[in-house]
């Protein structure tokens, strides 16, 4: 969407310079070791992001499976899907119905291969087998389905950056666009890297190196007027599911693409688009992992709610908005947990009582604590247990000190128990006030 708005507002000539500057921002961020901050992500947000992306992939690619054009958003795809299927089934033998059959056949081939493939051929991924069978079948039966399209000459697609384009970066709007592009591309890539790390047991992602490398890649993309590059879940998860173990698999991915596009374009142009959509539908379904929700449920209902809210917001809005909502909910949960205080007044004698507290005694809990202290009868000797108090701030300490002074004036007292440092602090202030 950022690229679309940039090109619509400033023209294609602005894409290269903006992307060049965005890549430079990423390179500097990686050099300054800022990539590690993206590790500060709650598992509920990561799993919710995976589920949301999986749902988006399915909602868009089911349209591709029937040779229809996907809509701009996940919600639009969901609303338009029943009508698209109805139109496809209304005409028996139509191109949409044939494409749907190709797609379903591809999914069935992938599932059967992954489940029953012979041990000597385990190196062959199910997606490759499914697409190959779909392509051969469509060619043998001469099926009228959409196929992959490529430009006649790849060199014609290169749009080298010019000095005039670089001079356009003096426009503040383009500077802001470059910064936004760098941030969103980095966030999407590194959050995806964190999610992929949870999908395998191999080497962990090196966030700062990834950020710097992507910056260099985007600078090269900007130099030739290409689209920006980001790391995304769908290819990475397909890579993991195919049994990839090292980083060489991603390098080979690019090498195979270049070789096929440059040397064997006819092979690619014979592939039905519906079969590629089916591969993405299969991958998207595997991203929505019910086991993740069950693992979060053992930590309470809040993580499950954050998971569902993140996924839903991604589907309804976009990836970045959904992740930010997940972050916001996680911070709210943290604030709520950090400020939660349980306080109970327990009588221990005719003129004595114990105030038991657990949790965090912050200024947010001053009204609760003041109400409880107000219920203590005058002349009561009050013992306060801090054994289960994680944190107590200045506002609560001041409240306790004020109550202690008032209690002494009425013949009572306040004693802090099981918290020697806090007891000395309270008693020291009390002696100073008496003096």
The 10s digit of each residue's pLDDT in 284-334 is 888 887 877 777 877 778 888 999 998 999 888 877 788 789 889 988 888
pLDDT band at 168 (very low <50, low <70, confident <90, very high): confident
**Residue 423: pLDDT over 80:** no
Identify how many contiguous H helices and E strands the chain contains and give both numbers: 19, 4
The pLDDT value recorded for residue 103 is 92
Among the residue ranges 125-129, 175-179, 338-342, 356-360, the one predicted with the least confidence is 338-342
Q: Which two tokens stand for residue 280?
A: 């993405």
Answer whether 426's CB lies under 8 Å from 404's CB: yes
pLDDT band at 94 (very low <50, low <70, confident <90, very high): confident
The pLDDT value recorded for residue 416 is 75
The pLDDT value recorded for residue 327 is 85
CB contact set of 381 (below 8 Å; sequence gap of 6+): 351, 352, 353, 412, 413, 415
Among the residue ranges 15-24, 85-94, 373-382, the one predicted with the least confidence is 85-94
Whole-number average pLDDT of the chain: 82
Within 10 A of 144 (CB to CB), how many other CB atoms are there?
A: 11
Q: Please provide the DSSP assignment of 285-305 as one string.
A: HHHS-HHHHHHHHTT-HHHHH
Better pLDDT: 141 or 183: 141
**Residue 433: pLDDT over 50:** no
The pLDDT value recorded for residue 424 is 42
Three-state DSSP class for residue 69: coil
Three-state DSSP class for residue 143: coil
Among the residue ranges 143-152, 245-254, 375-384, 392-401, the one predicted with the least confidence is 245-254
The pLDDT value recorded for residue 422 is 46
C-alpha distances in Å from residue 168, one per residue of 11, 27, 159, 326, 356: 12, 21, 16, 37, 66
**Residue 435: pLDDT over 50:** no
Radius of gyration of the chain (CA): 31
Report all structural domains of the chain as residue ranges with CATH numbers, in order of start: 2-335 (no CATH), 339-434 (3.30.750.24)
pLDDT band at 432 (very low <50, low <70, confident <90, very high): very low
The pLDDT value recorded for residue 2 is 67
The phi and psi torsions of 343 (rounded to 5 degrees) equal: -130, 135
CB contact set of 120 (below 8 Å; sequence gap of 6+): none
Q: Which two tokens stand for residue 345?
A: 């007044």
- The alpha helices in 93-160, defined as continuous H runs, are 95-116, 126-140
CB contact set of 126 (below 8 Å; sequence gap of 6+): 109, 110, 111, 113, 114, 117, 241, 242
Better pLDDT: 378 or 39: 378
C-alpha distances in Å from residue 273, one per residue of 212, 226, 252, 266, 346: 34, 23, 22, 14, 72
Q: Which two tokens stand for residue 70?
A: 């996907």
User: If you average pLDDT over residues 129-144, what whole number do you get?
Assistant: 93
Q: Parallel, antiparallel, or unpaired: how do β-strands 381-392 and 352-361 relate?
A: parallel
Three-state DSSP class for residue 66: coil
Share of the chain above pLDDT 90, in %: 14
Share of the chain above pLDDT 70, in %: 92
**Residue 425: pLDDT over 70:** no
Q: End-to-end CA distance of the chain, in Å? A: 69
Candidates 240, 269, 242, 283; CA nearest to 62 is: 283
Instruction: Give the C-alpha separation, 26 to 172, whole Å.
Output: 19
Instruction: Give the C-alpha separation, 309 to 42, whole Å.
Output: 13
CB contact set of 127 (below 8 Å; sequence gap of 6+): 110, 238, 242, 279, 282, 283
**Residue 104: pLDDT over 90:** yes
Residues recorded for the chain: 435
Answer whether 412's CB lies under 8 Å from 382's CB: yes
**Residue 112: pLDDT over 90:** yes
The pLDDT value recorded for residue 93 is 60
**Residue 421: pLDDT over 60:** no
pLDDT band at 146 (very low <50, low <70, confident <90, very high): very high
Q: Which two tokens stand for residue 410?
A: 């009425």
Better pLDDT: 434 or 54: 54
Q: CB burial class (10 A; 0-12, 13-18, 19+) of residue 113?
A: buried
Better pLDDT: 310 or 8: 310
The winner for highest mean pLDDT among 166-180, 233-247, 367-381 is 367-381
Global confidence as pTM: 0.66
The pLDDT value recorded for residue 431 is 45
């Amino acid at each position: 969407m950022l690229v679309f708005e940039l090109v619509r507002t400033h023209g294609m000539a602005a894409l290269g310079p903006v992307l060049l500057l965005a890549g430079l921002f990423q390179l500097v961020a990686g050099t300054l070791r800022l990539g590690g901050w993206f590790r500060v992500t709650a598992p509920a947000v990561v799993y919710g992001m995976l589920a949301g992306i999986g749902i988006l992939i399915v909602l868009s690619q089911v349209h591709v499976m029937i040779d229809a054009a996907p809509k701009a958003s996940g919600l639009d795809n969901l609303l338009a899907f029943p009508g698209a299927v109805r139109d496809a089934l209304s005409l028996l033998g139509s191109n949409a119905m044939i494409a749907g059959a190709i797609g379903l056949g591809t999914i069935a081939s992938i599932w059967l291969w992954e489940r029953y493939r012979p041990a000597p051929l385990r190196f062959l991924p199910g997606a490759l087998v499914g697409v190959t069978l779909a392509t051969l079948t469509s060619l043998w039966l001469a099926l009228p389905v959409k196929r992959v399209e490529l430009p006649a000459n790849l060199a014609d697609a290169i749009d080298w950056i010019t000095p005039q384009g670089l001079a356009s970066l003096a426009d503040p709007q383009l500077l802001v666009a470059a910064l936004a592009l760098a941030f969103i591309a980095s966030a999407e890539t590194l959050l995806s890297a964190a999610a992929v790390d949870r999908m395998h047991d191999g080497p962990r992602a090196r966030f700062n190196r990834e950020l710097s490398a992507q910056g260099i890649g985007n600078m090269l993309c900007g130099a030739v007027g290409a689209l920006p590059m980001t790391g995304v879940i769908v290819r990475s998860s397909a890579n993991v599911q195919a049994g990839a173990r090292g980083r060489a698999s991603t390098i080979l991915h690019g090498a195979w693409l270049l070789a096929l596009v440059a040397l064997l374009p006819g092979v690619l142009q014979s592939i039905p688009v519906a079969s590629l959509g089916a591969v993405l539908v299969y991958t998207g379904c595997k991203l929505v992992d019910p086991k993740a929700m069950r693992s979060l449920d053992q930590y309470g209902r809040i993580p499950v709610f954050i998971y569902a809210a993140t996924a839903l917001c991604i589907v309804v809005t976009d990836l970045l908005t959904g992740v930010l909502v997940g972050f916001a909910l996680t911070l709210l949960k943290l604030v709520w947990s950090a400020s939660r205080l349980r306080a109970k007044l327990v009588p221990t004698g005719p003129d004595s009582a114990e105030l038991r507290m657990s949790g965090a005694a912050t200024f947010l809990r001053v009204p609760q604590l003041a109400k409880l202290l107000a219920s203590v009868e005058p002349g009561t000797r009050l013992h306060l247990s801090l054994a289960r108090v994680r944190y107590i701030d200045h506002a609560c300490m001041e409240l306790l000190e004020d109550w202690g002074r008032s209690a002494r004036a009425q013949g009572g007292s306040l004693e802090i128990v099981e918290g020697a440092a806090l007891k000395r602090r309270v008693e020291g202030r009390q002696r100073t006030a008496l003096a």
